[in-house]
Chains A and B, each alone.
Chain A
Amino acid sequence: MARSAKSKTKPSTTRTSGKGQTLLLVATRKGAWLFQADAARRKWRTDGPHFLGHIINHLVLDPRGGGTMLAAASTGHLGPTIFRSTDLGRHWKEARRPPAFVNPPNRAGRSVKNTFWLTAGHVSEPGVWYAGTSPQGLFRSEDHGDTWEPLHSVNDNPDFQAIWGDDQGGTPDGPTIHSINIDPRDARHLYFGMSSGGVHESTDGGCSWTPLLAGMEVVDGLDVANIAFHDPHCVRLCPSNPDRLYQQNHCGIYRLDRPGKRWERIGRNMPKKIGDIGFPIVVHPYDDKTAWVFPMDGTSVWPRTSPDGKPAVYMTTNAGRTWRRQSEGLPEAQGWWTVKRQAMTSDDSDPVGLYFGTTGGELWMSRDEGGHWQNLARHLPEIYAVEFARMA
């Protein structure tokens, strides 16, 4: 893997005030949709479906500019691939070499079932992208997603192999590498999450990795020292303060302030009857004290639906010391929603817009940081991911 020089870039705290059009990229179990809004985010235009019938796990437009959009795709029958567009989805071209594990001599190798997560690289590395797969693998592209190489420091590392076990191991929908975060100050400083398998950090561009587990809890009765039992669902780095990370875990909501190495379970401050279980977590683009979660029922058989059938977002504005319920506009009852880990995001406007998609195919938005919610779309397929992009 080629290495770039260490690049120091200050994190952005400049508010764009919604200049330019807002674009939502919605990936579903049966295709992808784009929702494009005016600067006020009041008029929306729907563009789709793209790839009708394809399983689209993630759809991302390069935030560094250049216009490259990547779609992580598979179908019920065909193997996984990556599609690329440079004209907002009018034309798509398949990656020449999608993520694939090596075929090792003398032993059974693994096969990528799907690419689960896409992250554009550091601004100093304009062609670089990272991909996390199921089963767990990490891949890097240096040509805008056209060809992908495995990171052997992860994919062929005996320490990681001990975590992910065999094909029968892992989480119910398949073990994944997700939440690939890149420090905006340093291209060589990376984080990712493994479901299951903990949170991992590299300070040398992915050559080596160190687990960050301290403070994270596991299911009652399991050994907290066993890394395989740690299941971070979503990890987000604050763009305004890259030394702060938030995490929604299978067992709680956490915050980590670097250079510290101990996660603090800030979900303890959530209302007891709601709990602190969920999949997504969203951080404010300009305020490292503000984050949002979408709690789910993690009791008994883990329904993973909104507690008591009453969907709500919970917001903290003090780094997790207190949480406030935000449900105005959402159903007051009989709303048994599930929001997956990639299916909630924010934009960069002032005030910040929030968006989430449900497994029932509904897309919701708030123009005022969660104060009021309105429906943007219904009757879509199961929503896997919602991403934001700002168009010039």
Chain B
Amino acid sequence: MKISMASPLHSYTGASTLEAHGSNLAELLEDLERRFPGIRFRMIDEQDRIRRHLRVFVNDAQVFDLVHPLRPDDEVHIVQALSGG
């Protein structure tokens, strides 16, 4: 599936969009971590919570749960939440 990445994560992925795989969000993150070591912890804390200033959208809906199911034709957007200076 197609993934668009927030710019703070481009130092890991080297690109703003990429293809990744997984039947749910947790598996997708595992795929990303395998290819870009360290990236998961920058997005997801040690209690498996999405970090406060990141947002994950599947197609047009925001998701909060790592077990959210994914289909191969979904588009996942990992974006940074705007916050102060």
Q: Which residue of A lies closest to B41 (CB)?
A: A79
Q: Is the CB of B51 within 8 A of A78?
A: yes
Q: How far is the CB of B36 from chain A (nearest CB, A)?
A: 10
Chain A: CB-nearest residue to B7: A77
Report the nearest B residue to A95, measured CB to CB: B38
Is there contact, CB below 8 Å, between A78 and B9?
A: yes
Which of B47, B83, B84 touches A111 (beta carbons < 8 Å)? B47
Check if B54 is an interface residue, CB within 8 A of chain A. yes
Bits for A84-118, please: 1 = Cβ < 8 Å to B, else 0: 00000000001110101111000011111000000
User: How many chain-A residues does the 8 Å CB contact rule pick out?
Assistant: 19
The answer to the question of A203 belonging to the interface, with a C-beta cut-off of 8 Å to chain B, is no
A102 to B45, CA, bound (A): 11
Instruction: State the main secondary structure of chain A at its contact with B.
Output: loop
Q: Which residues of A contact B (CB under 8 A)?
A: 75-79, 81, 94-96, 98, 100-103, 108-112
Question: What is the total number of residues of chain B having a CB less than 8 Å from a CB of chain A?
Answer: 21
CB distance from A97 to the nearest CB of B (A): 9
Asked if A100 and B83 sit within 8 Å, CB to CB, the answer is no
Residue positions of B touching A, CB distance < 8 A: 6, 8-9, 37-38, 41-49, 51, 53-54, 80-81, 83-84
Contact of B43 among A78, A94, A95, A102 (CB under 8 A): A78
B19 to chain A, nearest CB (A): 22
Residues of B contacting A110 with CB < 8 Å?
47
Residues on B with beta carbons closer than 8 Å to the beta carbon of A81: 38, 41-42
What separation, in Å, do the CA atoms of A154 and B46 have in the docked complex? 18
> Which single residue of chain A is at the shortest CB-CB distance from B44?
A79
A77-B6 in contact (CB<8A): yes
Per the bound structure, the CA–CA distance linking A94 and B8 in Å amounts to: 15
A364 vs B54: C-alpha distance in the bound complex, in angstroms? 37
